[in-house]
């Protein structure tokens, strides 16, 4: 007699199948996430930050509003306002007979239709000035969008360079940890052979512990820098942001060509095309147009209007009354009118004069802000060239120092293996080599950013410099 299988055994088999399928699905998801984690270049990070920036979305909405205002200004200046209407009323009391214009006390029904239009012929060039203001507003929106895009790109560039710096320093410290581990193992074997003292071994253990501590600290700083970059980019992906080191090394190498021949001094004429200066110029132009409009409001305004209307009436409770057909009344009761209006301002509590004074003060402020902005941009341009030249000189010196320290460290490493120097001397040489590497990398990235700023003031956008 065959025994029946226990129900728990069947459940266990089902669970095993389910767990196997779940594991396969999880591995597929991990593989897909891993394949999606493509290294990002600096340009990729800039484009991602611009595409996902909430500030850019707000600015684009403002630009759309400016275009709508431009369209409204054009239609308001060159097209009339047209209105149409109809009404129906039932009068139960005393009223006027539309046919005789006499008062009657009979219930009446009235139905009317009208179409009217009006256009302003002259209002002190307010419509023309409004057209110019809306056109300038569109240009201001474009300049503000470009300025915001440049600010995002510069912030991403600085954060990207920080990630690059900590990444390469982490790799350098990892090499230092590996080297310190090898030196410790060599010293321990030499101690067993009587070639090294126990104090030397302890010194090398302390050196290894210090290198491991520096590696952990640098790794934490790398994670923090990567989080800062992701915050600037508004990173929304499920995988971790990876940096394309090869493209960045080529990028910094291309800027390093300027070590032999730096770019020329930025021309002051380039300051006029800076987004900040353009915005200040647009504000000054709009303030001048507002002042002109306020002055012309003292002049008379002229408008033209016209219209057409018709109606239908009947007395529904009058038995012996026969109303004319609707079509006949619609034609016979129609009327048209044309009206030319001239409005002359005489006295309104000096509000127009006060408005002129306010607009004049606004224009003076806008003009002073334009001069101040232009002066600040010119000073920033001169400072950028000075910073770039200083960073170039520092990079030259850091490059020579890094090469010298690298050679010295290689020589001291061979001397240590031969027992010619102490662990303390090797540690000193290793520290000097590591510091020289850090300073050289820092100088290289600083020169890269400073040279990009100078090229930006020369009219080349940040995102165009990292093709």
Each residue of 79-102: pLDDT tens digit?
A: 999 999 999 988 887 777 777 777
- CATH classification at residue 313: 2.20.200
Q: What is the pLDDT of residues 214-271, one digit of tens each?
A: 999 999 999 999 999 999 999 988 888 888 877 666 666 655 555 444 455 556 677 8
- Of 157-171, 395-409, 413-427, 431-445, minimum mean pLDDT range: 413-427
- The reply to whether 178 falls in a domain is no
Specify the DSSP class assigned to residue 53. -
Q: 364 and 235, same structural domain?
A: yes
- The reply to whether 179 falls in a domain is no
Residue among 18, 138, 25, 15 at smallest CA distance from 74: 138
Q: What is the pTM of this model?
A: 0.77
* pLDDT at residue number 460: 87
Tell me the C-alpha distance between 251 and 46, whole Å: 14
Average pLDDT over residues 364-368: 96
Q: 89 and 232, same structural domain?
A: no
Which residue, 286, 315, 344, sits at the end of a domain? Answer: 344
147 vs 349 pLDDT, higher one: 147
* pLDDT at residue number 19: 52
* pLDDT at residue number 37: 64
Q: What is the pLDDT of residues 10-51, one digit of tens each?
A: 444 545 554 555 455 554 444 444 445 688 889 999 999 999
The pairing of strands 95-96 and 335-343 is: unpaired
Q: 261 and 236, same structural domain?
A: yes
- The reply to whether 209 falls in a domain is no
Which residue, 277, 309, 344, sits at the end of a domain? Answer: 344
Domain with 159, as residue range(s), is 42-79+126-168+215-299+347-466
- The reply to whether 385 falls in a domain is yes
Q: 317 and 441, same structural domain?
A: no
CB 127, CB 73: distance < 8 Å: yes
Q: What per-residue string of b and e applies to 215-239 under the rule 16 or more CB within 10 Å gives b?
A: beebbebbeebbebbbebbebeeee
**Beta-carbon contacts of residue 243 (< 8 Å; ≥ 6 apart):** 39, 40, 160, 163, 164, 167
- The reply to whether 219 falls in a domain is yes
Count structural domains, the chain: 2
Report how far apart, in Å, the C-alpha atoms of 97 and of each of 103, 314, 454 are. Answer: 6, 10, 84
Q: 279 and 236, same structural domain?
A: yes
Q: 414 and 312, same structural domain?
A: no
* pLDDT at residue number 254: 58
- Of 1-5, 262-266, 431-435, minimum mean pLDDT range: 1-5
Strand partners, 89: 110
Tell me the C-alpha distance between 135 and 282, whole Å: 10
* pLDDT at residue number 260: 43
Tell me the C-alpha distance between 151 and 215, whole Å: 33
CB 362, CB 290: distance < 8 Å: yes
Q: 427 and 323, same structural domain?
A: no
- The reply to whether 288 falls in a domain is yes
Q: What per-residue string of b and e applies to 266-284 under the rule 16 or more CB within 10 Å gives b?
A: beeebbeebbbbbbbbbbb
pLDDT band at 2 (very low <50, low <70, confident <90, very high): very low
Q: 336 and 431, same structural domain?
A: no
Q: 368 and 237, same structural domain?
A: yes
* pLDDT at residue number 272: 84
Q: What is the pLDDT of residues 373-385, one digit of tens each?
A: 999 999 999 899 9
Q: What is the pLDDT of residues 300-348, one digit of tens each?
A: 999 999 999 999 988 887 777 777 889 988 998 899 999 999 999 988 8
- The reply to whether 205 falls in a domain is no
**Beta-carbon contacts of residue 70 (< 8 Å; ≥ 6 apart):** 131, 134, 135, 137, 138
Report how far apart, in Å, the C-alpha atoms of 462 and of each of 49, 50, 454 are. Answer: 13, 12, 10
Average pLDDT over residues 362-370: 96
Specify the DSSP class assigned to residue 243. B
Q: 366 and 238, same structural domain?
A: yes
Q: 159 and 111, same structural domain?
A: no
Tell me the C-alpha distance between 81 and 341, whole Å: 15
Q: 417 and 309, same structural domain?
A: no
* pLDDT at residue number 264: 52
Q: What is the pLDDT of residues 103-157, one digit of tens each?
A: 877 788 889 999 999 999 998 888 889 999 999 999 999 999 999 999 999 999 9
Report how far apart, in Å, the C-alpha atoms of 38 and of each of 34, 90, 222, 240 are. Answer: 8, 77, 19, 9
Q: Please name the residue ranges forming H helices in 81-236.
A: 126-192, 198-233
Which residue, 327, 344, 361, sits at the end of a domain? Answer: 344
- CATH classification at residue 289: 1.20.1600.10
- The reply to whether 14 falls in a domain is no
CB 198, CB 191: distance < 8 Å: yes
């Amino acid at each position: 007699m065959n025994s029946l299988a226990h129900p728990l055994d069947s459940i266990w088999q089902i669970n095993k199948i389910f767990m196997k399928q779940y594991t396969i699905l999880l591995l597929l998801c991990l593989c897909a996430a891993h394949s999606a984690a493509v290294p990002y270049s600096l340009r990729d990070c800039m484009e991602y930050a611009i595409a996902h920036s909430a500030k850019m979305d707000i600015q684009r909405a403002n630009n759309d509003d400016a275009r709508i205002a431009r369209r409204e200004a054009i239609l308001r200046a060159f097209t009339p306002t047209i209105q149409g209407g109809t009404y129906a009323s039932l009068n139960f009391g005393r009223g006027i007979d539309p046919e005789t214009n006499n008062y009657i006390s009979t219930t009446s029904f009235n139905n009317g239709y009208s179409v009217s239009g009006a256009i302003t012929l002259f209002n002190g060039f307010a419509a023309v000035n409004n057209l110019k203001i809306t056109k300038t507003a569109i240009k201001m929106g474009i300049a503000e969008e470009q300025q915001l895009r440049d600010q995002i790109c510069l912030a991403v560039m600085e954060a990207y360079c920080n990630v690059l710096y900590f990444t390469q320093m982490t790799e350098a410290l990892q090499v230092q940890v590996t080297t310190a581990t090898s030196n410790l193992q060599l010293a321990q074997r030499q101690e067993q052979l009587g070639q090294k003292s126990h104090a030397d071994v302890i010194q090398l253990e302390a050196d290894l512990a210090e290198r491991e501590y520096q590696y952990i600290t640098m790794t934490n700083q790398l994670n923090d820098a990567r989080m800062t970059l992701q915050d600037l980019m508004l990173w929304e992906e499920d995988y971790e942001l990876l940096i394309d080191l090869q493209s960045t090394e080529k990028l910094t190498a291309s800027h390093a060509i300027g070590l032999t021949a730096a770019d020329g001094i930025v021309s002051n004429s380039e300051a006029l095309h800076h987004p900040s200066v353009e915005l200040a110029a647009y504000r000054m132009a709009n303030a001048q147009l507002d002042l002109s409009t306020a002055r012309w409001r003292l002049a008379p305004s002229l408008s033209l209007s016209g219209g057409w209307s018709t109606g239908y009436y009947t007395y529904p409770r009058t038995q012996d009354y026969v109303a004319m057909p609707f079509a006949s009344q619609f034609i016979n009761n129609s009327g048209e009118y044309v009206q030319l209006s001239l409005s002359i301002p005489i006295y309104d509590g000096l509000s127009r004069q006060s408005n002129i004074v306010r607009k004049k003060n606004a224009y003076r402020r806008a003009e002073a802000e334009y001069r101040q902005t232009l002066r600040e941009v010119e000073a920033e341009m001169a400072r950028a060239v000075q910073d770039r030249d200083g960073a170039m000189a520092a990079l030259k010196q850091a490059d020579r120092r890094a090469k010298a320290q690298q050679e010295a460290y290689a020589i001291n490493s061979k001397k240590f293996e031969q027992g010619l120097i102490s662990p303390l001397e090797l540690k000193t040489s290793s520290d000097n080599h590591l510091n020289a590497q850090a300073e050289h990398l820092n100088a290289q990235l600083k020169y890269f950013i400073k040279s990009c700023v100078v090229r930006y003031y020369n009219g080349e956008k940040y995102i165009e410099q990292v093709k």
